[in-house]
Amino acid sequence: MEEALKYWPLGVSVIAFFWGWAMWSARHSFASKTSVEALAATFAKSQTDANAAMETRVSAIEKLLIKHDERLKTVPSADDLNDMSLKIADLHGDHKTLRAEMGGVKSAVDTIGSSVTRIENYLLKTGNRA
C-alpha cells in the first residue's frame, strides 16, 4: 500500500493527461459555433435559391394552365357536338331530297334538250333560219 501511495501523484497525472486529451478530442469532434452558423447560412441560401426556382416553375405552370383553360373555352362541348351531329344528319336528308329533285330537273332538261335538237335539225334541213 505504501508503494501505491508513493506513485499516486503519477497516477493522478496520467489520469489528468488522458482526461485532458479526451476533452480536446471531444472539442474537435463536435461542431463549433462558427461552423454551425456557416452551415446554417449555406442551408438558408440554398433554401432561398430552391424557393426562387420553385416559384419560377410554379409561375410557369400557372401561365400554362391559364393558357390551356383559355383554349378549353373554345372547344365545343358534348351538347354542341350532339347538336352538330343532328344538323349534319338533317342536311344529309336535305341532300337526298335535292338529289331526287335534281334527277327530275335533269329529265326535264334532257327532254327540252332533245326538243331543241329536233327543232335545230329541222331548221337545218329545211334551210329556214330564223
Q: Does 63 share its domain with 99?
A: no
What pLDDT, on the 0 to 100 scale, is given for residue 97? 85
Q: Does 84 share its domain with 130?
A: yes
- In total, the chain counts a number of residues equal to 130
What is the extent of the structural domain holding 14? 1-30
Q: Does 41 share its domain with 20?
A: no
Please state, in angstroms and as integers, the Cα–Cα distance from residue 11 to each residue in 2, 8, 15, 105, following that order.
Answer: 14, 5, 6, 132
Q: Which helix (H) or strand (E) holds 122?
A: helix 78-126
**Tens of each residue's pLDDT in the chain, 130 residues:** 677 777 777 888 888 988 888 887 777 667 677 888 888 999 999 999 999 999 999 999 999 999 999 999 998 889 999 999 988 888 888 888 888 888 888 888 999 999 999 998 988 888 765 5
CA–CA separation, 77 and 86 (whole Å): 14
Q: Which helix (H) or strand (E) holds 128?
A: none
User: Hey, is 73 helix, strand or coil?
Assistant: helix
What pLDDT, on the 0 to 100 scale, is given for residue 35? 80
Q: Does 13 share its domain with 52?
A: no
What pLDDT, on the 0 to 100 scale, is given for residue 34? 84
Q: Does 108 share its domain with 61?
A: no
Looking at the whole model, is its pTM more than 0.85?
no
Look at the block and give the residue holding cell 335535292: 98
Calculate the CA dihedral of residues 41, 47, 48, 53 and round it to 10 degrees: 150
Q: Does 44 share its domain with 20?
A: no
- Name the domain count of the chain: 3
Q: Does 83 share its domain with 130?
A: yes
Residues 6+ apart with CB under 8 A from 76: 84
Q: Does 55 share its domain with 84?
A: no
